[in-house]
Structure 1
């Protein structure tokens, strides 16, 4: 079964919690652009509730923040429960199997440019933060404004 990825921006910081069995679970919402424009020529976005489990949940909560462009693969799930008023509530969400960061923190503007004293012979000195950033040396993606949900 082939899974189609969803690509969008986080609408809020991911929320990491742990089950009573100590399983990590992170909930988040993605703003995903529609493939077409509305009658006014504007792009609309769908806001999709998502959940991811275990190590991937911890990774997402640690690396991704509101506004981050990510891609996920997973499946759609519908669950239901009874609320405090005794009404049946249905929830449809994407249960993500994996995610991928699609831009670096530098591209998002979250990492300050190092001062000139931090460079020698046009080479940036490495810092502890660099060794943990898998996107520090990645090439920029060509993303048009029309591709973004905001």
Structure 2
């Protein structure tokens, strides 16, 4: 079984490209900074995981994902290799995203980037206990 579940923050805005042809398809690449639970003195406190997604998922990432946003992704690990311009073989490891979702409310990414994490890492909720839905996503919801 090849199944990966990650929660982390986007290190930059997703990079989105479209394939050529009659039916162009979006391909989004982004990197997640995933905190390590156990930290040793002098070691990095996060891992930086390369992610790739296709089609509607990629278009969604392009529209709504921004640097600093905390997201949850599910997918699979895929390895590959290519020969670079210098003729050296380069090995790659990516998580191919099958599902992705928000892990916090709209304003939380801005707060965490400013060091004002008053929600202690929890999603921002309305008084009724539900997480806020980002602006402009209403037309993509399967219900009204």
TM-score, with length taken from structure 1: 0.68
Point out where structure 2 has 5 or more consecutive residues left out of the alignment: 112-133, 140-144
1:27 aligns with 2:29: yes
Greater alpha carbon shift after TM alignment, 18-27 vs 55-64: 18-27
Q: Secondary structure at the match of 1:62?
A: helix
Structure whose alpha-carbon radius of gyration is higher:
1
Shift of 1:2: 7.5
CA contact under 8 A between 1:33 and 1:43: conserved in structure 2? no
Match of 2:7 in 1: 7
Point out where structure 1 has 5 or more consecutive residues left out of the alignment: 111-128, 135-150
Residues 90 and 2 from structure 1, CA distance in 2 versus in 1: closer, same or farther, beyond 3 angstroms?
Answer: closer
TM-score, with length taken from structure 2: 0.70
Shift of 1:39: 2.9
CA contact under 8 A between 1:36 and 1:43: conserved in structure 2? no
Q: How does 1:69-88 map to 2 (within 5 A)?
A: 69-88=70-89
For residues 106 and 38 of structure 1, the distance between their equivalents in structure 2, rounded to whole angstroms, comes to 32
